[in-house]
Structure 1
């Protein structure tokens, strides 16, 4: 089957690049998003997120007529759903309401022979649940859960596995996991992705595909938790954790990751909890890793409070009441604008509550701070004066230079969560 028109439901950090790549292959793409501002931006040939080279691809696709955005689904041959899957409440229970809304939105325009792919990272069983929602909305069509290979609609789960900042390259080059609800569903999904995927399309069932993505991110979360726990231990024992990890990694079979202020983003900070929710008694190590990483921001906040107290104590005879604290970076990782689940955001938000503290943020990838950081002021790299307390939360390229190291190194109080200052150059690899 040759796909002539596909629909991308959700035009965020995954949906828009995926839509753009399909459109660059001369396939008509109808992008759907509930955000009217994002829709208008895309239809002007512009982008509303930060991702290298994406602006050029989107501009060309829109100009050539292969990409168009709208707020209402339209008929297509394939529908790809890339919407958020957050938590419900404080118990880390998966919230599938966005997937449900997307399914119910596309249901009226489904036709026999269509393919529906869930790309959103989801708990095990979410694809089957989506199929049930579709079946309820369209009783005139048949679906894989009841008609198997003979179903009118083909359904699969094909999770993304890309790195922000390298999305366009990794969409094309990485292997793709194809989890169809039946072999024919998988076959049709493979045909679609092979339009642009140069890596291998590896076929499995939908449940294994769902678990695969969760497993990949849980593996990384556990490794980061080890590094974060090491950093706390080394602080107590007066050891430079960056030097320690650099030395340990010289062992031919050791590759410890770098610690940070916590773990953020829409995947690693979220996905392991989906496994824990599905198997709470069995997922002991995965839960422990999550708890270690979730606790790291509080540890950083305690370091900031101690630094502020030392500044005030040193200045007690000058009647000083305000301490300037500058936070360098608030995105969840380096060189992107994505603040989702960012531990740095939560750190700044809590530090705004410390009495006597005036907070500033230097984040070169955004033009304004989110509403929940209303107590801080956003500065450019050129506006910063040497603060009383410097807190390095993200290792953006702008901070990984000798000029920045000298600037921050001159501060009396430095909390270096990414080793920008403390990491020995000879061991940085």
Structure 2
């Protein structure tokens, strides 16, 4: 009796599982969710039936370039894949060949008129076609190098402050903009990477898109906030002279905070999505990056000196920014996707803008104000000495 009950229970579980697969349209899977191939390379992929069909089903392939799904390719990134048939009463994998014909990105999906196969939008493979897979490796190495350069770039300034026991020469407006920008960027990255609600909203807006925020973005931002706070603490414990945050900076930062609070209530009220709210933080970061170097450059000009402003920070930041721009160009060439640079001028412009300021700081440090000290002590030989002849006349 118990054995019969166990068999019935097992059969019920199988029926429930099959019904779930049917409801979700999960009869099929691709053998890979994404592949990278070189130009003119051919790769074999498979459709993997997860249950038997009552009747054979014809499968035709769709090609999504950008956000538009096309049943006929008008951009020859890969050769047209012939239709395939999934036989009835079979769970054998069904092979098909993909051959690249032009660099770029395409999402290969499937469609079928079979009534047994429904909701196939989640069955696809992203295909990245490159001029050279070696460039993919080189770009990966470049990415790690500039990640390390940007991460380490904070420390020369911290060490310089500690060694001098002074923050004179480090502009407080720059620090205010920096902490505001990194906090905003951190909230955006953490929300996009860790909060399920936001991730689901992004997935709904970009059904086949890839989350633009990766773990290294989150780690970098958290570290940037932490080390910037340490630098700010140094401003309270070390000599700082008469330096203070300007009224203009206070107003701008205040506007950013007020904007964040107001839009928070708007998001809580359901007028905008949380994803949209997080994107507002990314806009704050973009605005801050455009202006944050200006106060420091102007302060160096006023003092005719870069004393107190670490050149190590500038050199590492310039290294990271330059390699980031190089990577953007190499990625665009390798995938024939120049729109990723010129189609998004904000991202490219910010990186280029930062490198330009780094070059300006280097010119100030090594050429314009080389060796200049903001405080020039009186040399011994320049001191006013008493006239010996007048001393003798006075009988001294």
The TM tier, using the shorter chain, reads: under 0.3
User: Could you say which structure has the greater relative contact order, defined with CA pairs below 8 angstroms and 6 or more residues apart?
Assistant: 2
Larger radius of gyration: 2
Which structure: greater helix fraction?
2
Q: TM-score, normalised by structure 2?
A: 0.26
